[in-house]
Chains A and B, each alone.
Chain A
Amino acid sequence: MFGLRRQPAAPEPEPTAGLALEARALVRSFGAVDAVRGMSLALRPGELYGLVGPDGAGKTTTIRMLTGLLVPDSGAAFIAGQRVSPGSSRTLEALGYMPQQYSLYGDLSVHENLWFFGHLFGIDAHAMRARRDRLLEVTRLARFGDRRADALSGGMYKKLALACALLHQPKVLLLDEPTNGVDPVSRRELWDLLHEFLEEGMTIVVATPYMDEAARCQRVGLMHRGRLLAEGGPDELVRAFEHTTLLLHADDRDLLEEALSSQPEVLAVSPHGSAVRVVVRAGRVEAFRASLPAAVTTDTITPEFEDVFLARVADEEAPAAPEAAHG
């Protein structure tokens, strides 16, 4: 090594010890679109992490870079201590991935799909049978083993996709909008299932546009335009929220809502039973109250996670949010 006149190559990035999943400053653009603009994540084993954001925020691109299916323009990702690189079998073994769209063979039955994915991962027949039976049992799909995947309804299809992603017993599971189009009963079942695997030590990342779902995660990252706007436990983010949530009671909820949505100090408006829920910028609450018609009564209420998300995005999108208002 000594006398060699070689440019020192950039050192191969090393994973941080003790993390199940790590993303380090991932960047990826598609043509002129900067889909992901510096995403870093650090997950401990056994953690349930929600990646939440509107369509186009970069959630799917991030997940695809974590799987190695998509190569980042820069940055690095590690799964179970292994650098993620395309086709790396060690990453694939540690990883379960359930994409948003169809991942199964529609013409194959439930059993056949499971066998196919089992073969892909080289699981021997004996282990395969035991795992398949357990997954069919927990997903309550055992009765439907001969049904074609195409003939399954939304929730059953998702459960089968999940079972296929879990066959090789991955350490880390990545789920991209797993409950899209799934009815509430199946949605709860799917979450119960995730918690079972979590309690066995699996690390799970769920990308979702649904705030009520994000609130079920231990930690969430709010993603917007390719970056994380905030990260933390849903409760912590709510506690640290500087803006104020008010409940407004009025005779005509709709008219009130309409009038409010154009006010700059109002960051979010949503219906709440017969009342209207608004998030008002910090420092502007008294002025806002004074601006309301006399017939409208207001109560200050505890913010919810959704308020936090809507306000963060509104803050970000406001062309020139007055600096003083953030104090």
Chain B
Amino acid sequence: MADPIIEVADLSRRFGAFTAVDSVSFQVERGEIFGYLGANGAGKSTTIRMLCGLLEPSSGQARVAGYALPEQATRVKSSIGYMSQKFSLYTDLEVAENLAFFAGAYGLRGARKKARIAYALEVAGLTDRQRVLTRDLPGGIRQRLALASALLHEPPLIFLDEPTAGVDPASRRAFWRLIRQLVRDGTTVFVTTHHLDEAEYCDRVGLMVDGRLVALDTPDGLKRDHVPGTMLSIGGDLAPATLRSVLQGRDGVFDIQPFGRAVHVRLQGPLADPAAMARVLTDAGLTPGEITPTEPTLEDVFLTLAAGSTRQHA
């Protein structure tokens, strides 16, 4: 582990009898895009709030951007950027007013302030629209502006808390292109998301379940190690209920999911061979279409690991 910008060791946070974050340890390398995934209530936001110096840990250690938490929380706060889908911009202010407000809040003055605001306008693609009211901007552009305003003080590390919630796919792509531009310029990104396709953009992904970090690896590594068995896509417009009645309860069958006109069956053992599956279905009087193994997705990883969760997800 060469040059971590975040080091977390046995970090916990309890609220009364409830352990929101339970002895979490990890490191984030400088220049990484680090994804932090979990269902609602898994402990993602609590972790971020601790790492931003907003919430004291109950126990454990954390160093962020070279400063120890909670002792140097003020230093941490001025060394990081933070952006969330909610509460980041004043929608009644013009674009330029928003940037001037945040630049002031970050203590920027004079020439530097001017230069950073110009940079932020460029990042957001709003150089020509400084006088537009923020609430009149389309969601995707507003997102870029929120990001740009979190970058005004040139933080080496930025936390993005569900930055693309409610943004359409084309704008999400554009947003991620921007994020990766920042990373190329040396910024480290810590991001939470509910969109598992977005987790593909991350260098490494940590998965939280019930306050614990249950897996941490590259997207490819997670798919390789955490989805047991094979996923077969069974075509032929078979009714999921019929397929379930034939396959459910058989040795090695974990999961049966309708998927478009096909049904996805996750299983291991002899039936994972498409020819064997075809025989079983034909013997049961069905006429399956094409049976093909399919690649697991990060959603499969997530659902497999979250399956043991005891908290109410919502």
**Residues of A with Cβ closer than 8 Å to B?**
54-56, 143, 152-157, 159, 180-189, 195, 198-199, 209-212, 215-218, 233-235, 254, 257-258, 261, 270-274, 313
Contact = CB atoms under 8 A, between A and B. Distances in A.
B240 A195 contact: yes
B258 A195 contact: yes
Contacts, number: 108
A241 to B, nearest CB: 15
A277 to B, nearest CB: 10
Nearest to B172: A209
B169 interface: yes
B172 to A, nearest CB: 9
Given A181-B194, A212-B197, A218-B261, A152 B314 contact: yes
A154 to B, nearest CB: 7
Given A54-B168, A154-B314, A155-B314, A216 B139 contact: no
B177 to A, nearest CB: 8
A254 B39 contact: no
B258 A184 contact: no
B169 A210 contact: yes
Contacts of B313: 155, 183, 185-186, 189
Nearest to B37: A184
Nearest to B197: A212
Contacts of B201: 271
A283 B83 CA distance: 43
26 contacts: A55-B167, A143-B312, A156-B312, A157-B314, A180-B166, A181-B166, A182-B194, A183-B39, A183-B313, A184-B196, A185-B302, A185-B306, A185-B309, A199-B239, A209-B169, A210-B195, A216-B258, A216-B260, A233-B261, A234-B261, A254-B183, A257-B177, A271-B200, A273-B219, A274-B218, A274-B220
Interface string B128-170: 0000000000110000000000000000000000000111111
Interface string B194-206: 1111001100000
B214 interface: no
B314 A215 contact: no
Given A183-B313, A184-B194, A185-B313, A254 B297 contact: no
